Chains A and B, each alone.
Chain A
Amino acid sequence: MVQNVGTCYAAFQALQFRKPLIDRVLTVAGDGVKEPKNLLVRIGTPALEIINFCGGYTGQPEQIVFGGPMMGLAQYDENVPVIKGTSGILVWNARRRLDEIACVRCAHCIDACPMGLMPTEIYKNAQLRRFEPAKKLGALDCIECGCCAYNCPARIPLVHYIKYAKNEIRRMTNK
């Protein structure tokens, strides 16, 4: 378990002042929001309230992400409330997307993976719905940090495929 400043502070508050976890500090950023800010917000506040507090949208938002750019979760709606794990809100207007092409075996994903996995191999197996080999390749050990997909020159959404493999593997084992 990784402890960060926010968790540490919340623990201190709870132990010293018996204050439950009712708020947290988060960062609002991205080109889609007028005045990016660091805020202390109540848990449960809808994203839109926070964005409006930061001056509102600069244009038509294309994507809203809870968390950071590497591991954050894209949200389907602007009214999604902040939860205790929401470390930031990112609002983007235009997203640059290049077409995914076939893997060219450059192995940059393998060099980038901090877990020593072979993302390209897991992705190829996941694509073919071969989840047993994907499991053997350590798909479940993936921490979804995003380094592989960040570096992939073929622009393959590797984390997406690995998450898919993980889901299917867990479904298989729960049966």
Chain B
Amino acid sequence: MRSLLTLAASPHISSRANVTAAMRLVVMALIPAFLFSVYLFGWRVIVITLISVVSCVSAEALMQRLFGKKITIKDSSAVLTGLLLAFNLPPGVPWWMPVAGGLFAIVFVKQLFGGLGHNFINPALASRAFLVASWPSYMTKLWLAPHGGTISGIDTITSATPLSLLKNPVNYGDAAEIVTQLNSFSTVRNLFIGRTGGCIGETSTLLLLIGGLFLLATGIIDYRIVGGYLGSFVLLAIALPTRGNLMFHLFSGGLFLGVFFMATDWVTSPITKKGRWLFGIGCGILTIVIRIWGGYPEGVSYSILLMNVFTPLIDRLTRERVFGQPRRISEKK
């Protein structure tokens, strides 16, 4: 008799898809926005991003060593967390902030809950919330003027981001004048291209859109979350009373970073199809509610974090309908 044959359940072939490859594709999709940020804010961006990535990766290795687990830093998930965390920091932050943020993201949000696949909220966003709560002044004031532009995207005012200007225009001068300028074509164009202040990776709507469409085309992110988020956001931005026009709201702040790279995170978004629609719609509603009535000028990060917490509930309430079964059979006892 010949040597033993391999016995395994079908299927005996598989696609080339694997988590590491997917993580690397997401990192690739973020590269254009990163390079543009280096052009905008200078070498600091490279340093902050590197510190953030290195802290995340070393924190992951350290924790896995501590827990006696297999060290899986090569799967690039910690690299992606580090990159996304850096994208959420103002370019002027001191060097130790990405270190604190990276440690919090990996140690507390990811590894203590069981590592890849088990964290219940997005590590990069949770870490951003942690940094905003701990050092609010560093996280909201250390903006750098972009290369060849101003922080606000308006010619004369340089001290505030577009969304904080929209929130409290009276603090910066003639309110009516400022709002008109914010809604003008030139400001919106600056916002779309990204020639404005903001966090490291959030400024260029155009480049994030290109990266996001790339991820959609490769099937890594789900169109339901993107569609639900953008759809509800657009509808509400038109329907609700706000000083900014639709284009201003779409292109300012971290909306596109959130929509394409944060809300679509596999681990922390619902797995059912209906659930993914609901999740996206919820994110859109919360974002616009925070922007209009909330205490913060920007609502993307908190709305996604809140919906992350709702994810298990959404999954439980929206089961898939099994083919050939009447509707709602899965809930029947």
Residues of chain A at the chain B interface (Cβ within 8 Å): 60-65, 67, 69-78, 90, 92, 95, 98, 101-108, 110-111, 113-118, 120-121, 136-138, 141, 144, 146-147, 149-155, 157, 159-160, 163
Contact yes or no, A74 B330, CB < 8 A: no
- Chain B nearest CB: distance from A69 CB in Å? 4
B266 at the interface (CB under 8 A from A): yes
Q: Which of A110, A115, A147, A160 contacts B8 (CB 8 A)?
A: A160
Contact yes or no, A150 B13, CB < 8 A: yes
Contact yes or no, B6 A95, CB < 8 A: yes
Task: Point out the residues of chain B lying under 8 angstroms from A104, CB to CB.
Answer: 19, 116-117, 266-267
Task: Check A159/B9 contact, CB under 8 A, given A101-B19, A110-B272.
Answer: yes
Residues of chain B at the chain A interface (Cβ within 8 Å): 1-15, 17-19, 21-22, 72, 75, 114-118, 219, 222, 266-273, 276, 319-325, 330
The prevalent SS among residues of A at the interface is loop
Complex: A107 Cα to B4 Cα, angstroms: 35
Q: Which of A70, A78, A106, A118 contacts B320 (CB 8 A)?
A: A118
Q: Which of B7, B13, B267 contacts A76 (CB 8 A)?
A: B7
Q: Which of A63, A108, A146 contacts B5 (CB 8 A)?
A: A63
Complex: A120 Cα to B267 Cα, angstroms: 13
- Chain A nearest CB: distance from B111 CB in Å? 13
Task: Point out the residues of chain A lying under 8 angstroms from B268, CB to CB.
Answer: 105
Q: Add 14 more A-B contacts to A63-B12, A101-B72, A118-B320 (CB < 8 A).
A: A61-B5, A70-B10, A72-B10, A73-B10, A74-B10, A74-B12, A95-B6, A102-B114, A104-B19, A115-B323, A116-B321, A151-B14, A153-B19, A153-B21
Q: Can you show 8 pairs from A to B with CB atoms below 8 A apart?
A: A61-B5, A65-B12, A73-B10, A95-B6, A107-B266, A113-B320, A149-B14, A157-B8
Contact yes or no, B18 A155, CB < 8 A: yes
Q: Which of B17, B269, B330 contacts A136 (CB 8 A)?
A: B330
- Chain A nearest CB: distance from B22 CB in Å? 6
Task: Check A153/B9 contact, CB under 8 A, given A105-B266, A116-B320, A137-B330.
Answer: no
Complex: A5 Cα to B318 Cα, angstroms: 40
Contact yes or no, A141 B322, CB < 8 A: yes
Q: Which of B1, B15, B319 contacts A151 (CB 8 A)?
A: B15
Contact yes or no, A117 B15, CB < 8 A: no
Task: Check A107/B12 contact, CB under 8 A, given A114-B323, A118-B319.
Answer: no
Contact yes or no, B322 A117, CB < 8 A: yes
Contact yes or no, B117 A116, CB < 8 A: no
Task: Point out the residues of chain B lying under 8 angstroms from A114, CB to CB.
Answer: 323
Task: Check A90/B12 contact, CB under 8 A, given A102-B117, A104-B117.
Answer: yes
- Chain A nearest CB: distance from B60 CB in Å? 14
Q: Which of B8, B17, B115 contacts A63 (CB 8 A)?
A: B8
CB-based nearest A residue for B3? A60
Complex: A159 Cα to B222 Cα, angstroms: 24
Q: Which of B72, B114, B320 contacts A117 (CB 8 A)?
A: B320
Complex: A60 Cα to B2 Cα, angstroms: 8
Among B2, B7, B10, B273, which residue has the most Cβ atoms of chain A within 10 A? Answer: B10
Contact yes or no, A153 B13, CB < 8 A: no
Task: Point out the residues of chain A lying under 8 angstroms from B12, CB to CB.
Answer: 63, 65, 69-70, 72, 74, 90, 92, 95
Task: Point out the residues of chain A lying under 8 angstroms from B15, CB to CB.
Answer: 150-151
Contact yes or no, A70 B13, CB < 8 A: yes
Contact yes or no, A110 B273, CB < 8 A: yes
Complex: A77 Cα to B5 Cα, angstroms: 7
Contact yes or no, A107 B267, CB < 8 A: no
Contact yes or no, A62 B5, CB < 8 A: yes
- Chain B nearest CB: distance from A72 CB in Å? 6
Task: Point out the residues of chain A lying under 8 angstroms from B5, CB to CB.
Answer: 61-64, 74-78
Task: Point out the residues of chain A lying under 8 angstroms from B269, CB to CB.
Answer: 105
CB-based nearest B residue for A103? B117
Complex: A110 Cα to B15 Cα, angstroms: 16
Contact yes or no, A105 B10, CB < 8 A: no
3 cross-chain pairs, A with B, having the tightest CB-CB distances, nearest first: A146-B11, A160-B9, A102-B117
CB-based nearest A residue for B19? A153
Task: Check A138/B116 contact, CB under 8 A, given A151-B15, A151-B17.
Answer: no
Task: Check A146/B266 contact, CB under 8 A, given A77-B5, A102-B118.
Answer: no
